Amino acid sequence: MTDQGNNNQSFSRNPFAALFSSLADAKQFASGQKQQQPNTQPPSDESGDSAEDSDNSVSDSIDDNDDSLAEISRSFRSQQEICQQLNVNHMIQRIFLITLDNSDPSLRGGNGIPPRCVYLEEMAADLDGQDWLDMDNIEQALFNRLLLPEPGNHLIYMTSSSTVNLSADRDAGEKSAMPYLFACYQRAKEEITKVPEKLLPYAQRCKNLTVSNAHTVLLTPEIYVSQNIYEQLLDLLLDGVNGAQLEEVLEFVEEVITALLADQEVRTFGEVMVPVLDILHGRVKDLDLCQLLLYSYLDILLYFSRQRDIAKVLVEHIQPKDPSNGLQYQKTLLGAVLNISCLLKTPGVVENHSFFLNPSRSSPQEMKVQESNIHQFMGQFHDKLHQILKNLLQQSTETRHLLLSWLGGCLQANAGRTKIWANQMPEIFFQMYASDAFFLNLGAVLLKLCQPFCRPRSTKLLTFNPTYCALKELSEEERRNRNVHAQGLDKETCLIPPPPQQTVEFAQSYNLLTENLILTQSALHLGFHRLHDQMVKMNQSLHRLQGSWREAQRGTGPGAEQLREQFERLMTVYLSTKAAATQPSMLQCCLNLQASTAALLVQLGLGPPGSEHAELSFPLPPLTDSLLCYVPEFFAENMGDFFIFLRRFADEVLESSGECLEQVLHFITVFMGNVERMKNPHLRAKLAEVLEAVMPHLEPVSPGPAQSSMFQRQRVFCSYRHAAHLAEALITVFVDIEFTGDPHQFEQKFNYRRPMYPILKYMWGKDNYRESIKRLADYASENLEAMNPPLFLRFLNLLMNDAIFLLDEAIQYLSKIKLLQIERDQGEWEALAPDARREKESSLQMFGQLGRFHNIMSNETIGTLSFLTSDIRCLFVHPFLAERIISMLNYFLQHLVGPKMGALKVKDFSEFDFKPQQLVSDICTIYLNLGDEENFCATVPKDGRSYSPTLFAQTVRVLKKINKPGNMIVAFSMLADKIKSLADRQQQEEETYADAPDDFLDPIMSTLMVDPVLLPSSHVTVDRSTIARHLLSDQTDPFNRSPLTMDQIRPNEELRERIRQWLAERKQERQQMGPSG
């Protein structure tokens, strides 16, 4: 072994070697002791580039000319402190990348020296020759380093290597305080894992210095000129969530937060965090839904919501300056995030919009892909928002109270969104209230918060306490203590009015389930309903624009291009709105909530809920102390609105859960026909539309792609165990909406009844429903003269009233359309002034819309009568109804097959939904269904206004023309002959009775009375069938309007006997006169 080798081996065994971080440092120290000797050579440059070199074992070779082992050992023992200081100096340099040593790099020895450091020139001068850093001067050195405006200008090489090292330059020259301190923190943590045990306290102190200086920097940001310290903190977090070192960043931030909380004399913790939140707010508010950067900022917000102290600052910070201004909530940080969606940022302004541009040039597949992408981003967006709100609710009692106060105040301040004027004055609306996007996202997040109890059979639901909604103004302290944060609900109309003098038993405190459900339903009421309404109106406008565009394309001029642009813009808005409103997981959450709400309301409708769900059975128990008087109507409105929306725009969702559909059927069965449980007839009528939405449909709701499966709906609807009561509820509400007390009830009832016809048609095709309807008819037949007319009798009477009115109106509108079309086609409009021509065009359009509506409705009513008469005859042929239905059928046949039919021949029947062939077929079917009844056939010729043998002959010709089956034509021809024979006989009888005394004639119908009865209050005698028909629609005396029921009328036996005798005498006279007479 060489001398050098021996020296190395001996050196490595030296007990003082542990004082140095490396052999090079030991050599440097030993060499320093001989610098006064003329023959001493400078140390070789053995510096390293990484901290890993700092723990090299003392195994490197030393120069042959070094001192002997004994001499070095004596030097170590005499200079232990200096050795340790040398190691501390190097460690500080590695951590903070600063130095006081500006000597020639080639003269520096020792491994672990960083390649670049910032030379603190001024501090080195002040220390008068001290060129090392230690624990006494590091705080000052770090402070000086942080104050350097351009630290990169003070970089020096620490080693003799001249290799370009951009990474080292960047790290040492970092000019932003927070990233620099975080990097120092990381380097200090690395040193702690590598330095010898004797240096560990120094490394730990360096780490603490990075935290304390970060704390100081945040407390005194004004010192650091041209730096935005709060922005640096946010960027540090942003880099963390975007990179692989999030845990390290959060660890650093957590230690800084602890330091800030411990020292709030200069600035409170809130004063430090609020500027960070403001910067976050400014960056987030203009981001798009599909920008990945948005989700990084949401991750930061998610961290803030998990960090107890930041969460408290956050919920305090979002409280608006003016809590009564709805728009102010949108201008908060949370509001700005909630306002992000694929909806237009500025309503009506398509420019700079990111979605569905130029839709007419995109294929359906391309638009489907874009919608799918939006749904995917929305899902992530709502998941993160849900977690943020959930964290804030769970963080502490204080954060929960503040967040719920924000939600409650927001909903009350935006209550005006549901007002009718809000849709008519958009300019004012958008200055006063939060946006549709805000409420869509708020509703989606609240729906997710409700999911833990959104199962129809969940016992948690039964803990809901609706008396919450009856609470009036509470103080802030009361709201906090009683968990009541929604406001203004006591002004809402409830399902039923509270009983007079009822005392409300309020709870001392309300559970979070009650508050969550109420806040969520309130948010849906303010947001989803308006969005649904907009989509329906846009859909209608698009159809009109498409028609006008096609019309304009046939002509010349710029009109077609302008219409195309309008169509494009509106289609962009529509597709964006549809994508926002149909996010699958949001709809599924809403389905769960609405089905659970249906189950809950049914339980409340059965009585005060217990600990388990009560089974629904009929008859329903009488209502006592019902909590329904505290449930706002918008609970039921939201439910109805949602299922109607699904039917129109997301039909496939209805197939996702049979249990949900069954709960909806329960709710409709209990409430639709029951005024004791739901007073508002308009709301009960809306439930018929809901029933139409959830029932299986044989026809698609609109032309387009393949319709979704009907399996679940058919299974639930057909096997529904309360089918009989559901059918009765439908017929009940059909009757009830005739008399709503609303000044527009006459016009409204037709819209309300529109969905009832397809439901009745579907029910009629299912045995269990049809049998229940027939039982109602049988009961009506047995109780025709009951004090209150039977339900089904009143239903048939109103059905015929509607048919008569609607088809008559449709005929009138078609006649007007025909005249206007003739004028236009003959060129008469071209000679008119522009205003007059526009008026004509407007009239034609208006008559077309009205005619189409009345045709649709009349088709439905006649079609309903057609299938009902196939199995229910006794009521239709009874004198109470027979004359009315016959006169109606004959009148319409007269217009459809008689000489007047030419007045209805408009251009393009389909444009106005005019189906004369179907109407003729249905009317003939009704005749054939009832034609076996002798009394019915005998009544047909009594219709002096429209009946004639010629009319029926014309009907037979039309049936042949429209290719109806031969057996139908033969059967109708035979019926016509039978009726003609009866007509001839009746004509002879009428001639016999033509001179009947006036007091024998019915005062209303002017026909000979068969069964005269006396009205109790007016003392007028009328025929029984006449007053019975009148009382079906109006239970008053027709001569003085006093209340009247069938059980109050009395037979006029004396007059009846006189009529009988007179008839017998006339008959005898006629027989004596013989045929010639």
pLDDT at 709 (0 to 100): 74
More confident: 1001 or 44 = 1001
Cα dihedral 634, 639, 640, 641 in deg (nearest 10)? 80
Q: Are 519 and 408 in contact (CB under 8 A)?
A: yes
Mean pLDDT value across residues 987-1003: 75
More confident: 354 or 699 = 354
Which residues face 1012 on adjacent strands? 1023
pLDDT at 503 (0 to 100): 83
Give the tokens for residue 815. Answer: 């006649």
- Whether the predicted pLDDT of 39 surpasses 80: no
Which residues face 52 on adjacent strands? none
Residue type, 436: D
Question: Is residue 604 within a helix (H) or strand (E), and if so which, with residue range?
Answer: helix 584-606
- Whether the predicted pLDDT of 351 surpasses 90: no
How high is the mean pLDDT of the chain?
85
- Whether the predicted pLDDT of 894 surpasses 90: no
pLDDT band per the 50, 70, 90 thresholds, residue 208: very high
pLDDT band per the 50, 70, 90 thresholds, residue 722: very high
Cα-atom radius of gyration of the chain, to the nearest Å? 45
Residues 6+ apart with CB under 8 A from 334: 314, 318, 406
More confident: 703 or 624 = 624
Distance of CA 977 to the CA centre of its chain: 62
- Pick the most confident of 122-131, 154-163, 329-338, 1056-1065: 329-338
pLDDT at 349 (0 to 100): 79
The rounded percent of the chain whose pLDDT value lies above 70 is 88
Q: Please give the C-alpha separations between residue 625 and each of 494, 601, 607, 666, 1074, in angstroms, as whole numbers.
A: 15, 14, 8, 21, 76
Among 700-714, 900-914, 957-971, the least confident range: 700-714
Residue 99 backbone dihedrals phi, psi, to 5 degrees:
-155, 155
Which residues face 117 on adjacent strands? 156
pLDDT at 19 (0 to 100): 46
Closest CA relative to residue 433, chosen from 415, 407, 406: 415
Largest CA distance in the chain: 172
Mean pLDDT value across residues 954-966: 89
pLDDT band per the 50, 70, 90 thresholds, residue 707: low
- Whether the predicted pLDDT of 15 surpasses 50: no
Give the tokens for residue 583. Answer: 């996010």
Residue type, 902: G
Alpha helices in 226-286 (DSSP H): 229-242, 246-262, 269-284
More confident: 784 or 902 = 784
- Other Cβ atoms less than 10 A from the Cβ of 739: the count is 13
Cα dihedral 113, 118, 124, 126 in deg (nearest 10)? -150
| Three-class secondary structure of residue 610 per DSSP | coil
Closest CA relative to residue 464, chosen from 595, 626, 590, 597: 597
pLDDT band per the 50, 70, 90 thresholds, residue 47: very low
Mean pLDDT value across residues 414-432: 76
pLDDT band per the 50, 70, 90 thresholds, residue 913: confident
Q: What is the pTM of this model?
A: 0.82
pLDDT band per the 50, 70, 90 thresholds, residue 658: confident
Mean pLDDT value across residues 441-463: 93
